[in-house]
Structures are given as C-alpha cells and as structure tokens.
Copies of this chain bind each other. A is one copy, B any other.
Amino acid sequence: MKKLEALIRPERLEPVMEGLRSLGYPGATITEVKGHGKQKGVTHMWRGAGYRLEFLPKVKLEVVVLDEDLQRVINAVVKAARTGAIGDGKIFVYEVADAVRIRTGESGFQAI
C-alpha cells in the first residue's frame, strides 16, 4: 500500500475527486493547508500599507492505494489538477506499513 499525498489548488479538488472515483477510490481525506513554493504570494493592502501573504491556500488530499494502482492514480491526479501555471502543486508518495478499518477491525489491504 502507498499513500499518495497531493498538494493541489483548492478549486481543482472536485475534478480530482471525480478522477479518483472513476478509478474505484472514493475514499480520501482532505486538509486545508497553506503552501509555499515557486508560486509567489499575493499582496494585500491595509490602510495604505501593503503586506504579502507568503503562503497560499492549498488542499492536501491524502488517499491510500494499493501498490498496483499507484501509477494510474498518480496519472489521474496529475491530469485533473494540472492547469500548467506555477502553483499547480506536488504529489508525494509514501509507503504505508499497515491499514486498519476501525469499524470492523480488518487490517491490511482489506481495510482500504
């Protein structure tokens, strides 16, 4: 099992989820995060003084998948999340040592 952690633009969440569903992975966890990368922050104004928001809102999407599905899932996420502009985000992949479904106590790949 692998965990795929995608940092994407908030407005791309819906198409990405769509893509995951079509691959049979409806389950996922999302977190609102702020990201900093190549993309420059935005400048706001407050009573005549400018200030930069260095971090921009991103969504972190976590989905645990079976090893054999990994590449397909990555491709689907990349396809749905890409706009081609700076700030599209990244995907990181981690090894998952184990998984447990709390409701049933099942573990391993059955828990996904």
Contact = CB atoms under 8 A, between A and B. Distances in A.
B38 A29 contact: no
B91 A99 contact: yes
Interface residues of A, number: 52
Nearest to A74: B100
Query: Which of A37, A88, A100 has the largest number of chain B CB atoms within 10 A?
Result: A100
A92 B102 contact: no
B34 A30 contact: yes
A32 to B, nearest CB: 8
Interface in A22-79: 26-38, 54-55, 58, 60, 64, 74, 77-78
Given A31-B32, A64-B90, 6 more contacts: A3-B94, A30-B34, A64-B92, A88-B101, A88-B102, A93-B98
21 contacts: A7-B29, A17-B36, A26-B38, A28-B35, A29-B34, A30-B33, A30-B35, A31-B33, A31-B60, A64-B90, A64-B92, A74-B100, A82-B102, A84-B103, A88-B103, A92-B98, A92-B99, A93-B97, A94-B95, A95-B95, A95-B97
